[in-house]
Amino acid sequence: MLKDEINKALEVLKAGGVILYPTDTIWGLGCDATNAQAVEKILKIKNRPAEKSMIVLLDVDSKLQSYVTEIPEVAYDLIEYAENPLTIIFSGAKNIAENVINQDGSVGIRIVKHDFCTPLINRFRKPIVSTSANISGQPSPKFFDDINQDLIDQVDYVVNFEQENRNVRKPSTIMKLSPGGQFEFIRK
């Protein structure tokens, strides 16, 4: 049952663990985005260089001001009217683990609309990291069955929801938004 899966994932996140979970895009590895040790576990599992940034998920845009110093007004319109999952890279990240923040002080945040992620983040009351469930440099998994077994064996909890889903999902669109409102697409 979905509620049970949310509760189990919540306990793992609170304990500083790593979950393997479905998102509004592709399967991801997640942890408490404010816990540097938990983020370090993900970097180790993915064999990922620390300087490569990771995306952070939030459940509602009203929480953005807790994690970004300056939010251009256009960000709220972009989030509201985006037809596909949209990650926005904001300048001036705050209140999240240093190893989630890019070297230039920015952070990529996506407001997630998903049956599992949204209530999980709402109950956790903190942002969670979302990075593709693959070893760094390998293709992102289209389906749960594509995820490397070595990676599965290293996480603290595998969410039992949408594992049979065969709808092809793509990574989010990524847009960099400056405090003045100028933007550029990083990934379409």
Domains of the chain: 2-187 (3.90.870.10)
Q: What Å distances lie between residue 140 and 5, 46, 81, 146, 149, CA to CA? A: 23, 11, 26, 8, 14
pLDDT computed for residue 101 by the predictor: 94
For position 134, what pLDDT does the model report?
93
**2 contacts 123 by C-beta, under 8 angstroms:** no
Read out DSSP for 38-49? Answer: HHHHHHHHHT--
Q: Are 127 and 67 in contact (CB under 8 A)?
A: yes
Query: In the prediction, which pLDDT does 166 show?
Result: 83
53: closest CA among 112, 21, 10, 93? 93
pLDDT at 188: 82
User: 10, 116 in Cβ contact below 8 A?
Assistant: no
pLDDT for residue 49? 78
Looking at residue 181, its pLDDT comes to: 85
pLDDT of residue 165: 87
Q: What is the mean pLDDT of each run of 10 residues along the chain (188 residues)?
A: 95 98 95 97 89 90 96 94 94 96 94 96 97 91 92 97 86 90 87
b/e 144-164 (16+ beta carbons within 10 angstroms → b): beebeeebeebbbbbbebbee
